[in-house]
Structure 1
Amino acid sequence: MKNEILVCNSGSSSLKLDVFRSGEALNYLASASVDRIGQSDGPKSELKIEIENGQTHKEEGVFEDHRSALLRISEILEKENVFLNDHRMAVGHRVVHGGPTITRPVLIDHEIEKTIDECSIYAPLHNPANLNGIKVARELFDCPQVAVFDTAFHAQMPAPARTYAIPRELARKHGIQRYGFHGTSHGYVAEIAARNLNRALQDLNLITLHLGNGASACAIHKGISIDTSMGFTPLEGLVMGTRSGDLDPAIVAYLQEKEKLIFQEVDTLLNRQSGLLGLGGASDMRDLLEKEKQGDQDAALAIDAFCYRIRKYIGAYFAAIGDPVDAIIFTAGIGENSPAIRQRVMDNLFADRIYFDSAANEKRIENREGNLLTREHSPVAVYAIPTDEEWMIARLTRDLLV
């Protein structure tokens, strides 16, 4: 029976796979990952596979390309009776950027491949790697292939939120607009929140906070993304692990002049050397919290700036949504696992309508529904919900085919 879906997330030198069985529910079957693909010098690649029955497989080797890595993973999975040829329903691919034209999951053909390639100008670090994984999977697996785009969830943003105030002809010529990212994650936790609240998503107003090394906020009105903090690129918005987030654009020209930097150097500075790393000397929030305990003032400022920016966006999104907000959702690495950051973000924030429960905030998350972090009768609920982008990609892939 063709009821298994392989979810593929292809990076420039890595490959992450998950397999789900489709039935009344989508059930996890296996996961696999391999790193250092195409890197012959240094340590060997490490391949890891975990099967839902508890079986694990680890090996080291040299993988010249994604094809050899995916072929080896497929061989091991087939020995465990996972994703056999007559079980293959589809392969769902994570693709970061769909540009202005692709606004939903799509069946992949040569025209879609061409569009993904053309959108590499917007996401040069991601789309080429995603496309490479697509081409390899289409060669190896004779089943439908579906592309699910990070940008698609935000495709219905109204024009005032989507538009930058630059000459319109220039924006149209170069496709410059707010696209937003982390859409699969924002969409997933919004659906879980709707289930928790026992209400239809299209009736809900939510603010979702995807807080990891990359971080973004999203305003959801009646189930639709109406604004999000990341913009034309993932650089805009919240303070992130190594990205600056919101910045006066004049700073770019100023630094180029004063530090004699070329554009590529400024781009590296803002994307890879700024954010928490630039402010506090570490990109990992756990390290910064530890440094703060030891009296490091730079670390304390980095954390405060991170939380302040989130609070600022929450306030703005209350205004953007207009109607009463039903819930705020924390997700991703920091959002799910850092009670200290959640507490600092929510401390006395709209206390007249958010009855934050500090004791509930300290509890460990133990299921996919997450934890409710507000007291009974709080007009606005607050949740910490684990994201599961792979499950969501599998669900969207199945929905498109069925």
Structure 2
Amino acid sequence: MSLVLVINAGSSSFKYQLISPIDGTRVAKGLVERIGSGTGHISHEMPGVAAISRDAQIADHAAGFLEMLRAFEDSGSPLLELGVTAVGHRVVQGGDEFFAPTLIDDHVAQRILDLAVLAPLHNPGEHQAIVAARQVFPSIAHVAVFDTAFHQTMPPAAYTYAIDQEVARKHHVRRYGFHGTSHRVVSRLAADYLGRPVEELKQIVLHLGNGASACAIDGGRSVDTSMGLTPLAGLVMGTRSGDIDPSVLLHLMTAGGYTAAELDELLNKRSGLLGLSGYQDMREVRDGVEAGDPAATLALDVSAHRLKHYVGAYAAVLGGLDVITFTAGLGENSAILRERALAGLEWFGIRVDPERNWEPGSEARRISTDDSRVQVLVVPTDEEREIAAQTLEVSGALQL
């Protein structure tokens, strides 16, 4: 069995899976979290053996990688003996130079670190994980799969901000977009579900989790997306504001005395659902709505309104619409958000079947009515398997 180790690093954590990209078999998975914050934590699971859950001092992502190796050893299956054929690394920011999954060499690794200026919370940790993985596995291929790569097909009209272009070029200011791996794989899974070639479909994919983004996909190619220079723009998220008038920031600086660091914390960590309602989790928001909490009701209404705004905008950008697909944690599990986001769009050919929408399920499914002109689907995302598949394709370890 050809196995790929997939490393999905965040700012203070990383998830990992050991996976066969052919059939999606997960040999192992785990999470290293609270990196650099005193006492870290690692959880590790493998079929047939007891799960591992323990605290440890984890100074950085390199130390976290070593903790992952230790977890494999403690489970009785040292990672170096499991036949890993390649390592796939999810990298958030690829700038405007990485258009596709890329074999990592010293130059690419350095460029990922250089691009930390555009993703200071993510790229440094991802670079540390890459360095550590290449030291442990020096003789196999390492591939970077960029969140931004799928969106490199956007036309200039979609990715260009209307500011002084000399300033924009100097500081690399443009829309990059994120969640690209998820948008790519979900758009193809939606096409498979419908039994139609992805090349003939006009799609909107709504990746709704703690981070959330919308993507307009025409014939399998991203033509617009809601996140921008950073993952802050667009939809209402767990703690992020999404779209906001830039003058709000200037007003808070001049009238409120906020510093740049304070504004960054406000918009990224104290806004979104949390800022609106006090709840970061949509399940808590839903419970608050049912209990009559006006703040929770407002949070749901604002989130649904923003989603509806993007659905309408992207239908116009696409010049038509065949399918809307919800994915990721909220998209797959929050029936109330799906219902509110698409309510009132029957005139547009979007009809959601209430029974189908509220019926729980873990597989790809349709939630629109039989007579809905636009198909509405719920499709679980599988970023790790997609990263594994792209990694093996680029590395040449297996012909897919």
TM over 0.5, yes or no?
yes
Could you tell me the TM-score, scaled by structure 1's length? 0.93
Report the equivalent of 1:305: 302
Q: 1:77 aligns with which of 72, 79, 87?
A: 72
Partner amino acid, structure 2, of 1:131:
H
Q: 2:283 aligns with which of 274, 286, 291?
A: 286
Residues 279-326 of structure 1: CA deviation (Å, up to 9, x unaligned): 22222111122122222212211110110010011000010001x311
Is the CA contact (8 Å cut-off) linking 1:14 and 1:33 kept in structure 2? yes
Partner amino acid, structure 2, of 1:96:
V
CA drift of 1:179 comes to: 0.3
Residues 153-201 of structure 1: CA deviation (Å, up to 9, x unaligned): 1011001001111111111111111100111111121111011011221
Cα distance in 2, alignment partners of residues 21 and 333 from structure 1 = 23
Partner amino acid, structure 2, of 1:10:
A
Identity %: 43
Report the equivalent of 1:233: 230
* Structure 2: runs of 5 or more not aligned: none
CA drift of 1:54 comes to: 5.7
CA drift of 1:86 comes to: 6.7
2:243 equivalent to 1:224: no
2:85 equivalent to 1:89: yes
Report the equivalent of 1:17: 16
What SS does structure 2 have at the residue aligned with 1:287?
Answer: helix
Partner amino acid, structure 1, of 2:68:
I
Is the CA contact (8 Å cut-off) linking 1:220 and 1:226 kept in structure 2? yes
Is the CA contact (8 Å cut-off) linking 2:20 and 2:388 kept in structure 1? no
Report the equivalent of 1:6: 5
Alpha carbons of structure 1 residues 230 and 69: separation in structure 2 relative to 1, 3 Å? closer
What SS does structure 2 have at the residue aligned with 1:26?
Answer: coil
What SS does structure 1 have at the residue aligned with 2:292?
Answer: coil
CA drift of 1:32 comes to: 1.5
Alpha carbons of structure 1 residues 89 and 372: separation in structure 2 relative to 1, 3 Å? same
2:21 equivalent to 1:26: no
Report the equivalent of 1:52: 47
2:385 equivalent to 1:391: yes
What SS does structure 1 have at the residue aligned with 2:229?
Answer: coil
What SS does structure 1 have at the residue aligned with 2:325?
Answer: strand
Report the equivalent of 1:371: 365
Residues 124-147 of structure 1: CA deviation (Å, up to 9, x unaligned): 000001111101101111311100
Cα distance in 1, alignment partners of residues 149 and 89 from structure 2 = 13
Is the CA contact (8 Å cut-off) linking 2:113 and 2:127 kept in structure 1? yes
What SS does structure 2 have at the residue aligned with 1:343?
Answer: helix
Which moved further from structure 2: 97-106 or 240-249?
240-249
Which moved further from structure 2: 125-134 or 383-392?
383-392
CA drift of 1:75 comes to: 4.2
Cα distance in 2, alignment partners of residues 262 and 13 from structure 1 = 23
Where do residues 175-194 of structure 1 align in structure 2 (5 Å cutoff)?
175-194=172-191
Cα distance in 2, alignment partners of residues 351 and 82 from structure 1 = 58
Is the CA contact (8 Å cut-off) linking 1:4 and 1:83 kept in structure 2? no
CA drift of 1:27 comes to: 2.1
Partner amino acid, structure 1, of 2:31:
S
CA drift of 1:18 comes to: 0.2
Is the CA contact (8 Å cut-off) linking 1:19 and 1:83 kept in structure 2? no
Which moved further from structure 2: 25-34 or 137-146?
25-34
Report the equivalent of 2:34: 36
Is the CA contact (8 Å cut-off) linking 1:276 and 1:302 kept in structure 2? yes
Which moved further from structure 2: 278-287 or 346-355?
346-355
2:252 equivalent to 1:255: yes
Which moved further from structure 2: 5-14 or 77-86?
77-86
Q: How many residues align?
A: 394
CA drift of 1:332 comes to: 1.3
* Structure 1: runs of 5 or more not aligned: none
Alpha carbons of structure 1 residues 294 and 213: separation in structure 2 relative to 1, 3 Å? same
Alpha carbons of structure 1 residues 290 and 76: separation in structure 2 relative to 1, 3 Å? closer
